[in-house]
Structure 1
Amino acid sequence: MGISHPLLLEIIFHVGNAIALIAYLFRDQIHLRVVVIVSMILQSSYYVLISAGGPLWDPLSWKILTIVVNVVMIALLFRDRLRFGIDDEVKPLFEAFGVLSPGQFRRLLACAERRGGAMPLTERGVRPTSLFHVLSGAAEVNKDGRRLGVGAGSFIGEIAFLTGGPATADVRLQAGARVLQWDVGRLRALMRKEKAIDIALRGLLSHDLAVKTSHSALPEQAGLPNQGALSIS
């Protein structure tokens, strides 16, 4: 099945390899893999046409395998960028991260549990086993006899999570409120596995803490200033 135009074969071979080099100039993984597939198709054509005795199956098989792997990876990358599974309740948290892909955020959600109703969240002086994020309603912070209502968008237990120390206040979720609850051990395991989630979560927790420190009489556990849900009772 050889081709009678060796110059055309040379062009196919060199263009295919040149495109493979160009692929590495792309930072976007989908674009990179699409260009790699184009390169592999051209190189496969070369190994199909080069020999009059038929395709050169050894190199051709590897090119085909490379095409298949990249097609699968493109499908996974597209899936990672789709927003399915991010409902209205958790959408504000996803948008607050800003840097996480929908897939990364879904993996963060997968190790959390949604809980609601009146219940204690943290006890002062005791190291929490969970990190919380208030989705709706309010939680009551009690420290040194002072009480503060914390609204949606706030993290609870972030100081203990960041430092590994005990909770700095007693916090109780109010009736009708809902939170995301992460087991600390499971969450740390995910953060060790996925550096992007580690960096994004630590950054958001640090920002949340900085805002609380500058706007609250209870800096360790106060809510975000733009929620309009803060009240001292």
Structure 2
Amino acid sequence: MFETLTGPAIFVHLAAIMYVIAMLIREQLILRLFILAGTGLYIVYYFTIGDVPLWEAIFWSVMIGLTNIYSIIVMSLERTTFNMTDEEKVILGKFSSLNPGQFRKLMKVGQAQDANAETLMTIEGKHSDYLYFLVSGTCRAKRGDVTFDINESCFIGEISMLLNIPATATTLLETGGRYIVWSKEDIEKLQRKNPNIGIALSSIMKLDLAEKVSKSVRVA
């Protein structure tokens, strides 16, 4: 027993304990850190168990460790706002159902644009191939004979996107406004590759729509 606790075999036991603990953890980042620790202990064991290190086992353990390190880095970046602009950080606050990594993927298929002139976004009764997010400025909307303003930090065209129906209002962004635009085709491609992003984006648009309805009821 003493030899087990003081000899190279101790590294095997410690590594196995790390793996067992990892299997009990749901948090992926912490889970991978424990697996990485276990892999490191196995490598130490393979170095010390015999007169000659077990190079084949060491090589593949190092490969497993490096792959795990890569995954840890990717997962960490997905949870941080590193390398985001101040504007993107503000917009991310509206997209609370998306983690920073998912938000980056969504922004990658969109385009940020400034309205150098009045910009027509949607036409009532016509299908729109685009989804807009109003970053700043005011958008004038007209539904039938009713005219109203849509202020910043909200979607335009989300009803058409969610229900696949013609736009319910004609919207015109005033000069000087800023917005993000996505094509319906690009969003659908992104949703197919990343179903979780599609579910989260749908939830965000529904919440945005509910807020608009609530405001319109209070105004009425």
Post-superposition CA distance 1:190-219 (Å, at most 9, x none): 1222233212211111111112223216xx
Residue 30 of structure 1 corresponds to 29
CA 1:138/1:67 → structure 2, altered by over 3 Å: closer, same or farther? Answer: same
Name which of 74, 78, 83 aligns with 2:76.
Answer: 78
Contact kept, 8 Å, 2:8 with 2:49, in 1: the verdict is yes
Within 2, Cα distance between the matches of 1:134 and 1:115? Answer: 10
SS in 2 for 1:190: helix
Deviation of the 1:84 alpha carbon: 3.2
Contact kept, 8 Å, 1:85 with 1:106, in 2: the verdict is no
Residue 53 of structure 2 corresponds to 55
Letter in 1 for 2:80: L
Post-superposition CA distance 1:49-102 (Å, at most 9, x none): 2223x1222322221111111122222222223313433333333112223222
Deviation of the 1:33 alpha carbon: 1.8
Within 2, Cα distance between the matches of 1:9 and 1:88? Answer: 52
What TM-score does the superposition give when structure 2 sets the normalisation length? 0.89
- Alignment of 1:11 with 2:25, yes or no, is no
Residue identity over aligned pairs, in percent, reads 30
Larger deviation, residues 55-64 vs 161-170: 55-64
Deviation of the 1:138 alpha carbon: 0.7
Residue 102 of structure 1 corresponds to 100
Runs of at least 4 residues of structure 1 off by over 6 A?
Answer: none
Within 1, Cα distance between the matches of 2:9 and 2:88? Answer: 55
SS in 2 for 1:90: helix
Deviation of the 1:157 alpha carbon: 0.5
Give the length in aligned residue pairs.
215
Q: Which runs of 5+ in 2 are unaligned?
A: none
Which structure has greater helix proportion?
2
Aligned alpha-carbon RMSD (Å):
2.1
SS in 2 for 1:92: helix
CA 1:85/1:152 → structure 2, altered by over 3 Å: closer, same or farther? Answer: farther
Within 2, Cα distance between the matches of 1:103 and 1:191? Answer: 14
What TM-score does the superposition give when structure 1 sets the normalisation length? 0.84
- Alignment of 1:165 with 2:165, yes or no, is yes
Residue 46 of structure 1 corresponds to 45
Letter in 2 for 1:204: I
CA 1:138/1:189 → structure 2, altered by over 3 Å: closer, same or farther? Answer: same
Within 2, Cα distance between the matches of 1:21 and 1:55? Answer: 25
Within 1, Cα distance between the matches of 2:75 and 2:103? Answer: 14
Post-superposition CA distance 1:117-157 (Å, at most 9, x none): 21110111211110001100011111112111111012111
Q: Which runs of 5+ in 1 are unaligned?
A: 218-224
CA 1:88/1:48 → structure 2, altered by over 3 Å: closer, same or farther? Answer: closer
Deviation of the 1:6 alpha carbon: 5.6
Deviation of the 1:177 alpha carbon: 0.9
Within 2, Cα distance between the matches of 1:11 and 1:37? Answer: 17
